Chains A and B, each alone.
Chain A
Amino acid sequence: MTIWLAFAVMTGIAVLAVLWPLSRRLPTRAGAVDQTAFYAAQLAEIDRDLGRGLLEPGEADAARAEAARRLIRASAGAAPATGGDSEPALRRRRAASAVALSTIPLVAIAVYGAVGSPGLPAQPLAAREAPRAGGMGMAEAVARVEAHLARDPADGRGWDVLAPVYLKSGRAGDAVRAYENAIRLLGETPDRLAAYGEALVAAANGVVEKAARRVFERGLAGDPKSAKAQFYLALAAEQDGRPDEAATRLSALIASAPPGAPWRSTVEAKLAALSAPAASAAIANLPASEQKAAIAGMVEGLAQRLAQDGNDAQGWLRLVRSYVVLGDQAKAVVAVQAGKRALAARPADVAGLEGLARELGLVEPAAKP
């Protein structure tokens, strides 16, 4: 509402500014509207300048003579001006007032109505940020931290805060860079190293590569009880075809687990999956090409089983992981979607599946932020 009030005030002032000259009593001399007035004024100005010493007397005389000559010529040819309070003049003024009074608001409102958006308040960035500071959206928070880091890239804490957020939102590459910066600026801690390794694994689509393995080993050296490092090293061993070592590590992890550790069940499931099919050990002994074919066959079998009976949350998780390990991103994404459909009745499992997808950096085409 205030905006319309402001518009009304502006329009009012504009109309008044234009009508104000009409209300003045103007000199009615004929000269007022012709050049004679101009030359008369010029003569006066010459005298004033002479008085102030801006002109030499000689110059002033010459100028005066010329202006006077022009004045005479102008007044000889001047048409008598109408105006003053004669009847036609008054009528003209009334008409002019009417025109100004109607045209200005009409044109202004019509034009503004066609292009304006009166309902939209100004939204300066500062004002937009201030009130939402408490419950700011994740994207905006990230953007603000990023903006801060762009100004001050040497702020390690900023990178430290940003890195896990990146990892959770599937930006594994950014997470890796952020952890590297944090480690460079704040130094190594076992936790940071473990998290960094996790980011590296995510960036490599779930494969624990050599670099990541070294990071985990360094982390474990710093804190032998680091569960994350231990777990990923087990994973590395499994992926490298050393299931025994993997099983040993996982067993040790379970043994040292504090009571009620939330990850305990995951590790136990992993250990179970590792030792259950002895086939995996057999496969490990096959030549590389056959190994891959064998694994693909197993995965295919799992996929078929799940297609018939999709009620196995663990099975879906394994399938997705397998596809990622095989390097088939597209199938992994499809598996996530299929799994979510099959498990729709159990939100907790759906969330687990989504969590895995995020962890592995699987992004569904439509769900891209």
Chain B
Amino acid sequence: MSVEVGHYALALALALAVIQVVLPFWGARARDAALMSIGPAAAVAVFVCVLIAFAALVKAHVTSDFSVVNVVENSHSLKPLLYKVTGVWGNHEGSMLLWILVLALFGALVAVSRRSVPEPLRTDTLAVQGVVTIAFLAFVLATSDPFARVFPAPAEGQDLNPILQDIGLAIHPPLLYVGYVGYSIVFAFAAAALIEGRIDAVWARAVRPWSLVAWIFLTLGIAMGSYWAYYELGWGGFWFWDPVENASLMPWLAGTALMHSMLVMEKRDALKVWTLLLAILTFSLSLLGTFLVRSGVLTSVHTFATDPGRGFFILCILVAFIGGGFALFAWRAPVLKQGGLFAPVSREGALVLNNLLLASACATVLIGTIYPLALEALTGDKISVGAPFFELTFLPLALALLLLVPFGQALAWKRGNLLGAAQRVVAALAIAVVGGAVTVAVTRGGPVLAVFGVGLGLFLVAAGVNEVVARSWSRGMPLSNALRRAFGLPRSAWGSAVAHAGVGVVVLGLAAQAWSVETLVTLKPGEAAQAGPFTVVLEGAFPRTGPNFNEEAARFRLIEGGAAVASVEASKRFYAARATTTTEAGIRTLGLSQVYVSLGDSRDGALGVRIYWKPFVLLIWLGAVVMALGGALSLSDRRLRLGVPVPSRRAQASLPTATPAAAE
């Protein structure tokens, strides 16, 4: 019975979502408090229904109920329990249901967070959110029903694609979805502000936590996906400018811009229209990401579904929401009260530049992703736009942006002083130059760009530290005082310092890859190859049987300076159920660096082996975690939610250097 209860709950959720849209919206127009209060109740009810549906699907997967098509196609009674559960969203139907679950969860959270959002704004936001929910529920029920049944039930399921049977892949789609869907709330808030015809700092403060949550999860999701591709696909790369990766990068770039422009709005009541536009854009790019991945217009690892019917439906959703969003914007934006203008040299001026660069960078990624599709549709010419394109377009813009970050951080609100800002970052700049020089000396050369990257990374990290030090310590102050003041700094200040330092860490990790080594050899047992500082010796190859696969494993010994330091094992697996071979890369972490071994074919007793030495490669993902941590710190700042201007005037007065201050 539970399966059909879940199925019915999904239908009921659709009905409730209709109510969530219609009645409260009517109430908001009529200013009827009673009708408006239906919105939160309906939003919570929708969430409960979708939760029941999701639980029912999980139960069907866990109990191997092969009367459900989704379970037959994506599960197997012998699969480990963990992968039975993660298999729920390892496929198209289940992942769309997860999408809706997160959507409904956010709706319910907005509904119950009574005190942070003014009432009419909340009503309209929930109504817009309800429209999104309706669209996706209709999509799932009409074209991707996870509860479709089959009778009589087959005796056994068809297993999960072994390449997807992995904990990294199990975690990263939910992270990405929380990010994507988080921006749907931001979109709903933006649409509500346009409908209300009013937007101010209160709006920015209400939206801030949602935009931060979405950003944090998107950051982690992208990093997780990148690490998954790195160790699971077995070819040593971590970013391929694959359309699916771009699909998650674009909303991240737009969302990062949004986060910063909202700051200007919150502090200076400016950039209102631009912020709304960015909010709509970010969600549009999230939808585009879903469309690109789900419709099968791209061929990529993540495209589980290739079905034109679904693609068309998603395209309709895409056109409706993006078109609708921009139409609403064009119609209502002129009604909004314009914010003030400001001096070009100021924190807000720097943030505008940040937004311009981020938006342009996002646009280049969009062009590189969409252009091949458009060209093929128009002329039939098939092209591929790969890493070289993005390295020429995205990279310069990103580098320019990152180079300016420390200066922007150092500028004061309202009226900045370029020279003063330069003086504040001079220490960080010195560290960067010294670091770059040391790099050149130690590595005896190296690509210019990589040396520059090392310097840039150090610059960003040092500037992050400097940011905290400058605001809590002045010359001659005892350390204890400085520490107390440092801990007294608003968490949002810590958050931004940490997040920017995290970007620096990522840049360091990326730059270090210029010194990575790749060796391609055929080895017989006992033979060795050189990879970076290590001699890699093949100890032997042996067959092995796993729970649902057979594998050919090979063991390697890593020798540095004559002494064995570690061993690493790589294998090639064959999954009989799917007649699929996968490469299991052998990865050995040594400090922050890794040795990465993947196997090719063996012939005449010799094994084709690809060995990588990847110095400081972990910094790339660690940096992303640090960035997310910064976001979390900022999220936990209570004062911003209450609208406390920080730091208070008294504190500001006691600081010799001009500090960024909230103004009004």
Contacts and interface: CB of A to CB of B under 8 A. Distances in A.
Do A and B share a direct contact in the complex (Cβ within 8 angstroms)?
A: yes
B396 interface: no
A118 B8 CA distance: 9
Interface in A91-107: 92-93, 96, 99-100, 103-107
Contacts of A92: 26-27, 30, 32, 34-35
Contacts of A89: 32, 34
A32 B36 CA distance: 11
Contact of A139 (B2, B38, B65, B155): B155
Contacts of A58: 648-651
Contact of A26 (B16, B33, B66): B33
Interface string A33-56: 111011001100110010000111
Given A14-B15, A21-B41, A46-B642, A93 B9 contact: no
Nearest to A28: B33
A18 B38 contact: yes
Contacts of A27: 33
Contacts of B40: 21
B120 A33 contact: yes
A14 B49 contact: yes
B72 to A, nearest CB: 11
A111 B15 contact: yes
B151 interface: yes
A25 to B, nearest CB: 9
A112 B7 contact: yes
Contact of A14 (B2, B16, B155): B16
A63 B645 contact: yes
Counting chain A CB atoms within 10 Å of each CB, which of B12, B66, B120 scores highest?
A: B12
A38 B202 contact: yes
Given A59-B644, A59-B646, A104-B16, A2 B1 contact: yes
B23 A45 contact: no
Contacts of B357: none
Contacts of A117: 4, 149, 151
B645 A151 contact: no
B290 to A, nearest CB: 22
A41 to B, nearest CB: 5
Contacts of B644: 46, 55, 59-60, 62-63
| Size category, A interface | 35 or more
B158 to A, nearest CB: 14
A24 interface: yes
B33 A120 contact: no
B145 interface: yes
A45 B642 contact: yes
B64 interface: yes
B33 A81 contact: yes
A20 B45 CA distance: 12
Given A38-B119, A66-B643, A14 B45 contact: yes
Contact of B115 (A18, A41, A122): A41
B553 interface: no
Given A81-B31, A103-B19, A112 B642 contact: no
A5 to B, nearest CB: 10
Contacts of A80: 31
B5 interface: yes
A70 to B, nearest CB: 7
A99 B147 CA distance: 28
Contact of B8 (A37, A81, A112, A125): A112
7 contacts: A18-B16, A18-B45, A22-B35, A35-B118, A58-B650, A66-B645, A150-B548
Contacts of B643: 42, 63, 66-67, 70
Top 6 closest A-B pairs, CB basis? A124-B63, A107-B15, A21-B37, A125-B64, A112-B11, A63-B644
Interface string A122-139: 111111100000000001
Given A111-B141, A120-B149, A32 B33 contact: yes
Interface of B: 1-5, 7-9, 11-12, 14-16, 18-19, 22-23, 26-27, 30-38, 40-42, 44-45, 49, 60, 63-67, 77-78, 115, 117-121, 141, 145, 147-149, 151, 153, 155-156, 202, 545, 547-548, 638-639, 642-646, 648-651, 664
Nearest to B490: A59
B61 to A, nearest CB: 10
A204 B15 CA distance: 64
Contact of A10 (B9, B26, B34): B9
Contacts of B145: 115
A140 B77 CA distance: 14
Contact of B34 (A59, A60, A93, A125): A93
Contacts of A63: 639, 642-645
Contact of A49 (B78, B156, B642): B642
Contacts of B149: 117, 120
Contacts of A109: 11
Given A33-B36, A35-B118, A122 B67 contact: yes
Contacts of A6: 1, 5, 8
A11 B649 CA distance: 56
A277 interface: no
A87 to B, nearest CB: 13
A151 B547 contact: yes
A82 B4 contact: no
Nearest to A83: B33
A300 B638 CA distance: 97
A106 B19 CA distance: 12
Contacts of B36: 33
A66 B19 contact: no
A108 interface: yes
A111 B33 contact: no
Counting chain B CB atoms within 10 Å of each CB, which of A41, A103, A115, A147 scores highest?
A: A115
B23 A115 contact: no
Contact of B38 (A22, A41, A107, A115): A22
Nearest to A121: B1
Contacts of B156: 143
Interface in A183-237: none
Contacts of B119: 32-35, 37-38
A35 B202 contact: yes
Contacts of B38: 18, 21-22, 96, 100
B201 to A, nearest CB: 8
A42 B5 contact: no
A106 to B, nearest CB: 8
A79 B35 contact: no
A261 interface: no
Interface string A145-166: 0010011010000000000000
Contacts of A139: 155
A269 interface: no
B448 to A, nearest CB: 48
Contacts of B648: 56, 58-59, 62
B1 A55 contact: no
Given A17-B44, A111-B141, A120-B67, A38 B60 contact: no
A92 B639 CA distance: 40
A260 interface: no
B41 A42 contact: no
A139 B154 CA distance: 12
A128 B16 CA distance: 35
Contacts of A143: 155-156
B67 A115 contact: no
Contacts of B148: 115
A112 to B, nearest CB: 4
Contact of A82 (B12, B30, B548): B30
A125 B644 CA distance: 58
B65 A123 contact: yes
A99 B19 contact: yes
A304 B3 CA distance: 61
Contacts of A118: 4
A116 interface: yes
Nearest to A123: B67
A105 B12 CA distance: 8
Counting chain A CB atoms within 10 Å of each CB, which of B34, B117, B119, B648 scores highest?
A: B34
